[in-house]
Chain A
């Protein structure tokens, strides 16, 4: 996936991920990230992914989606504690 495709995926996935419409996509950056998933047997399995971090902002408030480079699906969401006036 190249940057332009990552931007398209970010815009396509944002609503499902909960990013309010008023937030603007500022930048995307490729990174390796660790994702952990709890298993039914209680174990916590971790693996690395090549991902695109999509950063949305509104003033000081922000959302970030981590998109799987291979599929474009959201691996992780994060947001600033303060969400401004949204």
Chain B
């Protein structure tokens, strides 16, 4: 495995950066907020620059705007689901249902045997959101518990969550 020869320098600089940021919060009388700093900010160190006796480490700072969760199948790494809350914010139902369905289809990529069962706006806590749900059928016979479920922000037209459970029928006993 390659190691970053500047890792030590960057680590020291990052420690200094956190000390500085925490010090600034304390000066502003917000000492309690320091424990949340590392949750909301993520520094990414650039390459150190040496100027005379000084070694300067530039940082790109990233601010957490939303939690993102994803679930992967441990057997093959395929995506079983994801949810990106920031894309669900500022909801609406301005997008026609047909267009929302197209966005959901692009995300779901429903395979052969996927039967569209739900394609409509629903409401939760009085906020609208678009739901598309496909269920697995083989020759018209339902495959129990197999589905793809996509939620779309009806204002932006962007999907913000996908849940997927799908498998290929196999009539031979084996570990899955």
Contacts and interface: CB of A to CB of B under 8 A. Distances in A.
B7 interface: no
Contact of B169 (A29, A32, A44): A32
A72 to B, nearest CB: 17
A47 B174 contact: yes
Contact of B171 (A37, A43, A47): A47
A23 interface: no
A33 interface: yes
Contacts of B144: 31-34
Contacts, number: 38
A22 interface: no
Range for the number of chain B residues in contact with chain A: 10 to 19
Nearest to A35: B173
A46 B145 CA distance: 14
A46 B168 CA distance: 12
Interface of A: 29-34, 37, 43-50
Interface string B145-176: 10000000000000000000001011111111
A65 to B, nearest CB: 14
Contact of B141 (A45, A46, A47, A50): A50
B169 A46 contact: no
Contacts of A31: 141-144
Nearest to B140: A30
Contacts of B145: 34
Contacts of B174: 45-47
Interface of B: 138, 141-145, 167, 169-176
A48 B167 CA distance: 10
Contacts of B176: 46
B78 to A, nearest CB: 17
B115 to A, nearest CB: 13
Contacts of A45: 173-175
A30 B138 CA distance: 11
> Interface centre among B172, B173, B176, by most A CB within 10 Å?
B173
B170 A48 contact: yes
Contact of A37 (B167, B172, B173): B173
A43 B175 contact: yes
Contacts of A32: 138, 141-144, 169
